[in-house]
């Protein structure tokens, strides 16, 4: 278990709702849920979740910290916003789901190997390197995430599309050598560092 | 009688003149109906038509009118002649619009119209002009007695006083305020509906005590109530033993409720340490006075669980089966007591369905903002003690789990303080009157919980409707009870919160004012508003059978020492259930009696068997079934032209003599149409329709003795919206009568 997680447990003891309110994006709206279940009924991926948003909110209130944060449910959200549109209490459910996923990831207890989480990590790492997404390295990193064999298989399957994109000028093969960056890469990294500092302060991670 | 002059007016408007031979109708009114004046008019409800009638009343001395035009439910303002007895013959909705089109039907249509003219003339000949309660001089008291000095009672007394009526307020304890006085705060009743508000009881008490129109009796109960609207006499007993009399015109019973006894809920910790009901929590909050709430043992509460629906909405039949409506909002309010004093107190409201009527949803949201946790779960076991434990099934997460708390609050429901259950009373009273000593003791015991101690023949309190509440019919007559001039207000009528109770009490006070004003003019208040007729009995023919006194749905009739009925006119709602009950037919109204209907039945021309024209009598309740028949006409839904419909005040007023008269007279069938009966009845007179069904179930043997098939008499439940169904009912029944063949009684009549 990560240090951050141990600290959080110590800090909030049994009050998981307060932890969510303070540390999760829009977490202070969780208490406003009235358990009508419209979100659960509206979610297109409903049958594939372990816990519907309605249940996640109830679990938060019931203090089921471990179960919520290690759940893969919020990672299944496709951001269709059906639930937000329909929630009679106007909870920003989609945002809360992403907030929970983010928090679990931050604490290092999100489910390992969960595809959405893995791809998000790949995407983020690719993005912060040069301040922009390098389509080629991102694609390759994604293809080869599961090893060389499957990577080659996927790449062969996608060969035609890749070639078409190269010919149409939508994909530059030269980008494989690091690619180009945003104009002020140092400035970009400074922005990220500042944002993290602010967030850590706001959510009580620092000190 | 010598001065009576009878007139018939036949309208030929609305197409009546085109399809009917009005000339021959006039002849029938004259020759068979024996009308002195017979006139027709092409547009009778027009100014000139009405003037013609008015002139005849003024100049010709006409006292009795038969108006043969449209339904009695139409053109009531035009055909309003207060100084004359009026019968209405329904040629338009009853004949023209319901007999099938075409010249094939000309003959039966004309016959139907002729019969209706005969019936109208026969009816009016038996009618008298109702003059109202002759004893109205003795019913002039307009004071309002309010029983109960809680929120409802004080509101009712103030409402009456502010409307200019004197009120007498009786409270059995030594102080006003009732249940509300024991509350720390109340559920918000004004915008933004977010915080508990002050109860306002003290201000209200000051208003009541300072009002010169309100006479206050504290430490007082009602020892006896007698009389009728406009002349109730009430004996008040003070705790000290002193007795005083008050005379009042109407009564508002605001006797409130008692919280359901949590001792009956041992599985939910009732009776164990640190388990309280909502009233118990109010006491703790009052003691805390805005500070941290402490338990009985002095420990500051840091966590509390509210168990909703404790002993309520119970489908096992052990506890209350209903929802008391206020408890969710009350628990929300009480959870806020804790959160407002200290936001760190854990407050859990455990509910199965959170019900917050009115603006309660805003209050609910406010509690969520404050951090009150709402858990959808059903508590199965509560253990009290130093640390309480609530075991419950989580209805969202579908698991059996538990939560610990310093204090558990049970949201038990409201039990009406409605006095004696009259069904139980009747049984005991009958045994006691039969000389059973044990029953006599039991009867005195029962009387101790009575609120009004009515000296009515049917028992000391108002009849209870559902779940022991003194309601009459929640949907149709929300303010009425089954005792005329006595109105229930607040949680004694149905479960409700304080805001609803104050509205309810205001409504009850307004109804009480209607009752006294109508009583002073000798007329009915509800539902036959302003009806001046009232029942009278020819006592020399009475056999003291007591049917009328027992069956009156409103307890209007008492018995004198010789067991003759005593009619308390203003208690009467003019339904005629007594008239229907009377086996010797001595009870009648001036304009509605066994004769007015009986003579109509006899006036119909019943054709011989070989003419193959059956006659079917319809006795239709004028509240629902008759309007449905009219509506069938308005929609031009045709039905058999062999029926002859007579409106009755209530199916309960149908005397079996009418049935036997009709069948003896050669009718082939009798259809009775009344309102829905049973628990969710729609009968305007509560029991009328039920009584009729019961009586008809008993006449099968009589019919068999007469040699008549029992299926020739049917009773149907017809709602006011049943216009299409009613036409089908008639046609199906006519086909059935056709299959049965002519009545064996034909030709003997």
Per the structure, the count of domains in chain A is 2
**Residues of A in Cβ contact (< 8 Å) with B352:** none
| A34 shares contact with chain B (CB less than 8 Å) | yes
How far is the alpha carbon of A129 from chain B, nearest alpha carbon, in Å?
A: 42
pLDDT of residue B72: 96
Let me know whether A95 and A140 are in one domain.
no
| Chain B residues touching A89 at Cβ < 8 A | 365
As a whole number of Å, the CA-based R_g of chain A is 20
- Is B526's pLDDT higher than 50? yes
Looking at per-residue pLDDT, the higher value among A4 and B220 belongs to: B220
A26 and A105 co-located in one domain = yes
Same domain, A101 and A166: no
- Domain boundary among the residues A88, A112, A136 is at A112
For residue A178, what pLDDT is reported? Answer: 81
A8 and A63, same domain (yes or no): yes
The mean pLDDT of A174-201, rounded to a whole number, is 92
Q: Is B235 on the interface with A (CB under 8 A)?
A: no
**A108 and A119, same domain (yes or no):** no
pLDDT-derived band at B748, boundaries 50, 70, 90? low
A32/B contact by beta carbon, under 8 A? yes
Highest mean pLDDT among B319-323, B674-678, B741-745 belongs to B319-323
CATH of the domain at A24: 1.10.1060.10
Whether residue A125 sits in one domain with residue A137: yes
**A80 and A130 inside one domain:** no
pLDDT above 90: percentage of residues in chain B: 91
d(Cα A48, Cα B728) in Å, to the nearest integer?
54
Domain end residue (candidates: A112, A134, A164) = A112
- Residue A103, min C-alpha distance to chain B (Å): 22
Distance CA B341, CA B360 (A): 22
pLDDT at B325 over 50: yes
Task: Kindly list the structural domains of chain B, giving each domain's residue range(s) and its CATH number in brackets, ordered by start.
Answer: 1-129 (3.40.50.960), 139-256+462-520 (3.50.50.60), 259-413 (3.50.50.60), 530-578 (3.30.70.20), 606-749 (3.40.50)
Q: What does the pLDDT read at residue A74? A: 93
Average pLDDT over every residue of A154-181: 89
Closest by Cβ to B396, choosing from A31, A58, A89: A58
> What is the tens place of the pLDDT at every residue in B397-441?
999 999 999 999 999 999 999 999 999 999 999 999 899 999 999
What interface predicted TM-score (ipTM) does this complex get?
Answer: 0.86
Residue A204, domain member (yes or no): no
Question: Is residue B409 within 8 Å of residue B392, measured between CB atoms?
Answer: no
> What whole-number distance in Å separates Cα of residue A157 and Cα of residue B262?
72
- Specify the range with the lowest mean pLDDT, choosing from A178-187, B638-647, B721-730: A178-187
Tens of pLDDT, residues B133-191: 989 999 999 999 999 999 999 999 999 999 999 999 999 999 999 999 999 999 999 99
Rounded average pLDDT over B333-347: 96
Residue B128 structure tokens: 């008298």
Contacts of A61 in chain B (CB under 8 A): 373-375
Residue B670 is predicted with a pLDDT of 96
Does A77 fall in a domain? yes
Specify if A176 maps to a domain.
yes
Among A137-146, B61-70, B556-565, the range scoring the smallest mean pLDDT is: A137-146
How high is the pLDDT of residue A47? 84
Say whether both A10 and A100 belong to one domain.
yes
Q: Indicate whether A158 and A62 sit together in one domain.
A: no
Whether residues A159 and A101 fall in one domain = no
Q: Which chain A residues are within 8 Å of B364, Cβ to Cβ?
A: 34
Q: Is the pLDDT of residue B561 over 60?
A: yes
**DSSP secondary structure string for all residues of B475-532:** TTBTT--SSTTEEE-GGGTS---HHHHHHHHHHHHHHHHHHHHHHHTT---SSSTT--
Distance CA B72, CA B592 (A): 14
Does one domain contain both A38 and A86?
yes
- How far is the CA of B612 from the CAs of B188, B642, B731, B739, in angstroms? 72, 10, 16, 12
According to the model, what pLDDT value does residue B679 have? 84
- With beta carbons less than 8 A apart as the criterion, state whether B286 and B182 touch: yes
B397/A58 touch (CB, cutoff 8 Å), yes or no:
yes
Angle, alpha carbons B365-B368-B373 (nearest 5°)? 140
- How far apart CA B689 and CA A35 sit, in angstroms, is 45
What number is the average pLDDT over the span B29-39?
A: 96
The domain containing residue A35 runs over which residues? Answer: 3-112
B375 close to A (CB below 8 A): yes
Tell me if chain B has a CB within 8 Å of the CB of A42.
Answer: no
Given an 8 Å threshold on Cβ–Cβ distance, is B396 in contact with A55?
yes
What residues of chain A lie within 8 A of the CB of B396, using their CB? Answer: 35, 54-55, 58
Determine whether the interchain pair A61/B354 forms a contact, defined as Cβ–Cβ distance below 8 Å. Answer: no
Which residue would you say has higher pLDDT here, B280 or A48?
Answer: B280
Of A112, A135, A162, the last residue of a domain is A112
Query: Apex CA B268: angle with CA B267 and CA B273, to 5°?
Result: 105
Between the alpha carbon of residue B278 and those of residues B310, B379, B403, B409, B725, the distances in Å are 11, 16, 19, 6, 50
Residues A120, A101 share a domain: no
Q: Strand B587-588 and strand B536-537: pairing?
A: antiparallel
Query: For testing the chain A interface, which of B346, B367, B397 should be mutated: the one with the most A CBs within 10 Å?
Result: B397
pLDDT reading at B284 higher than 80: yes
Per-residue confidence (pLDDT) for residue B1, from 0 to 100 = 46
Is A207 contained in some domain? no
pLDDT, position B215: 97
- pLDDT at res. B22: 96
The full DSSP string for B100-154 is PSSGGGHHHHHHHHHHHHHHHHHHHHH-------TTGGGG----EEEE--SHHHH
Asked if A17 and B373 come within 8 Å (Cβ–Cβ), the reply is: yes
Q: pLDDT band at A164, cuts 50/70/90?
A: very high
Q: How confident is the model at residue B749 (pLDDT cuts 50, 70, 90)?
A: low
């Amino acid at each position: 278990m990560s240090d951050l997680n141990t600290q959080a447990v110590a800090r909030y003891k049994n009050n998981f709702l307060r932890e969510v309110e303070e540390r999760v994006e829009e977490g202070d709206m969780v208490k406003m849920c009235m358990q009508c279940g419209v979100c659960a009924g509206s979610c297109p991926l409903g049958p594939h979740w372990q816990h519907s948003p309605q249940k996640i909110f109830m679990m938060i209130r019931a203090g089921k910290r471990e179960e919520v944060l290690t759940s893969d449910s919020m990672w299944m959200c496709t951001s269709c916003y059906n639930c937000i549109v329909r929630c009679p209490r106007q909870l920003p459910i989609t945002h809360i789901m992403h907030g929970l996923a983010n928090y679990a990831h931050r604490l290092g207890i999100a489910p390992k190997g969960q595809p959405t989480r893995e791809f998000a990590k790949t995407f983020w790492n690719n993005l912060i390197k040069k301040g922009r997404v390098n389509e080629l390295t991102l694609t390759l990193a994604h293809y080869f995430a599961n090893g060389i064999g499957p990577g080659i298989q996927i790449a062969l399957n996608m060969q035609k599309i890749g070639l078409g994109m190269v010919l149409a000028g939508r994909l530059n093969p030269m980008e494989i050598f690091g690619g180009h960056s945003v104009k002020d890469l140092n400035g970009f990294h400074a922005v990220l560092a500042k944002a993290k500092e602010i967030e850590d302060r706001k959510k009580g991670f620092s000190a | 009688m010598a001065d009576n002059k009878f007139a018939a007016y036949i309208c030929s408007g609305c197409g009546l003149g085109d399809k009917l031979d009005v000339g021959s109708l006039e002849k029938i009114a004259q020759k068979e109906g024996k009308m002195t004046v017979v006139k027709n008019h092409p547009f009778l409800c027009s100014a000139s038509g009405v003037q013609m009638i008015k002139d005849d009343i003024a100049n010709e001395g006409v006292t009795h009118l038969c108006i043969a035009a449209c339904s009695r439910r139409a053109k009531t303002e035009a055909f309003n002649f207060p100084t004359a007895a009026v019968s209405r013959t329904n040629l338009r909705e009853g004949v023209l619009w319901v007999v099938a089109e075409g010249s094939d039907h000309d003959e039966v249509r004309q016959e139907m119209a002729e019969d209706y003219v005969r019936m109208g003339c026969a009816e009016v000949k038996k009618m008298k002009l109702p003059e109202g309660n002759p004893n109205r001089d003795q019913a002039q008291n307009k004071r309002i007695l309010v029983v109960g000095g809680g929120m409802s009672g004080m509101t009712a007394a103030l409402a009456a006083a502010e409307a200019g009526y004197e009120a007498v307020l009786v409270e059995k304890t030594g102080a006003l305020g009732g249940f509300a006085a024991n509350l720390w705060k109340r559920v918000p009743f004004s915008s933004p509906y977010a915080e508990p508000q002050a109860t306002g009881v003290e201000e209200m008490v000051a208003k009541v005590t300072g009002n010169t129109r309100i006479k206050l009796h504290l430490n007082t109960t009602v020892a006896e109530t007698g009389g009728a609207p406009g002349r109730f006499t009430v004996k008040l007993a003070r705790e000290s033993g002193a007795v005083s009399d008050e005379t009042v015109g109407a009564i508002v019973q605001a006797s409130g409720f008692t919280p359901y006894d949590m001792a009956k809920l041992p599985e939910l910790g009732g009776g164990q340490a640190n388990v309280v009901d909502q009233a118990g929590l109010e006491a703790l909050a009052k003691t805390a006075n805005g500070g941290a709430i402490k338990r009985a043992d002095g420990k500051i509460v840091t966590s509390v669980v509210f168990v909703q629906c404790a002993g309520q909405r119970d489908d096992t039949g052990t506890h209350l089966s209903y929802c008391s409506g206020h408890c969710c909002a009350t628990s929300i309010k009480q959870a806020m007591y804790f959160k407002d004093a200290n936001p760190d107190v854990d407050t859990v409201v455990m509910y199965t369905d959170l019900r917050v009527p009115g603006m309660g949803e805003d209050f609910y949201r406010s509690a969520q903002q404050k951090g009150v946790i709402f858990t959808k779960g059903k508590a199965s076991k509560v253990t009290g003690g130093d640390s309480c434990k609530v075991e419950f099934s989580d209805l969202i997460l579908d698991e059996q789990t538990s939560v610990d708390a310093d204090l558990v609050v049970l949201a038990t429901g409201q039990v009406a303080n409605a006095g004696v259950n009259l069904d139980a009373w009747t049984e005991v009273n009958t045994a006691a009157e039969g000389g059973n000593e044990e029953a006599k003791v039991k009867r005195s015991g029962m009387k101790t919980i009575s609120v009004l101690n009515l000296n009515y023949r049917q028992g000391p309190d108002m009849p209870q409707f559902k779940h022991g509440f003194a309601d009459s019919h929640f949907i149709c007559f929300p303010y009425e009870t089954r005792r005329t001039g006595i109105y229930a207000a607040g949680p004694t009528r149905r479960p409700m919160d304080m805001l609803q109770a104050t509205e309810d009490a205001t409504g009850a006070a307004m109804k009480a004012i209607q009752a006294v004003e109508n009583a002073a003019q000798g007329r009915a208040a509800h539902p036959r508003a302003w009806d001046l007729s009232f029942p009278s009995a020819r006592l020399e023919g009475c056999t003291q059978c007591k049917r009328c006194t027992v069956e009156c749905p409103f307890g209007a009739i008492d018995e004198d020492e010789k067991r003759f009925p005593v009619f308390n006119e203003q208690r009467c709602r003019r339904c005629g259930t007594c008239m229907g009950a009377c086996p010797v037919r001595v009870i009648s109204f001036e304009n509605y009696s066994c004769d007015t209907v009986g003579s109509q039945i006899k006036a119909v021309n019943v054709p011989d068997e070989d003419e193959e024209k059956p006659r079917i009598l319809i006795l239709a309740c004028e509240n629902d079934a008759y309007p449905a028949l009219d509506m069938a006409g308005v929609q031009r839904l045709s039905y058999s032209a062999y029926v002859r419909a007579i409106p009755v005040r209530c199916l309960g007023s149908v005397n079996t003599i009418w049935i036997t008269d009709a069948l003896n007279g050669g009718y082939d069938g009798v259809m009775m149409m009344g309102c829905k009966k049973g628990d969710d009845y729609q009968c305007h007179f509560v029991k009328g329709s039920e009584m009729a069904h019961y009586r008809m179930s008993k006449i099968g043997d009589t019919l068999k003795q007469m040699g008549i098939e029992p299926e020739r008499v049917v009773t149907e439940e017809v709602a006011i919206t049943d216009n299409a169904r009613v036409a089908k009912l008639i046609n199906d029944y006519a086909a059935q009568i056709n299959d049965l063949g002519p009545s064996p009684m034909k030709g003997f009549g």
